[in-house]
Amino acid sequence: MITPEKIRQYIEGNIKLWGDRFNMIPKHIKEQIIWRSFICSDCVDNGSCKYCGCEVPGKLYVTKSCNDGDRFPDLMDKQDWLEYKLQNNIDIDV
């Protein structure tokens, strides 16, 4: 179902996707997107999110998690991401 929130997320995700293609995404956000793509490899392979049905990869760039933290939390600021990586033994460095 199309909702105003899904439209907003579609726009956000695709703007950030294009920004990433031009290396305009901060390192800590890029790392989280890479991690999300690994965690959600089944959705990446399918081309859409199994939780909300949104297109992938655009959905990987949206700040708010659609899975209530079941797979991954909302995008974090730099400090929170560093702490999260340490607590969860995530080894990504771009």
Tokens, residue 30: 């890029």
Question: How do the domains of the chain map onto residue ranges?
Answer: 4-87
With 90 as the cut, is the pLDDT of residue 2 above it?
A: no
Does residue 94 contact residue 27 with C-beta atoms inside 8 Å? yes
Whole-model pTM: value is 0.90
pLDDT tens-place string over residues 27-85: 999 999 999 999 999 999 999 988 888 889 999 999 999 888 889 999 999 999 999 99
Does residue 56 contact residue 48 with C-beta atoms inside 8 Å? yes
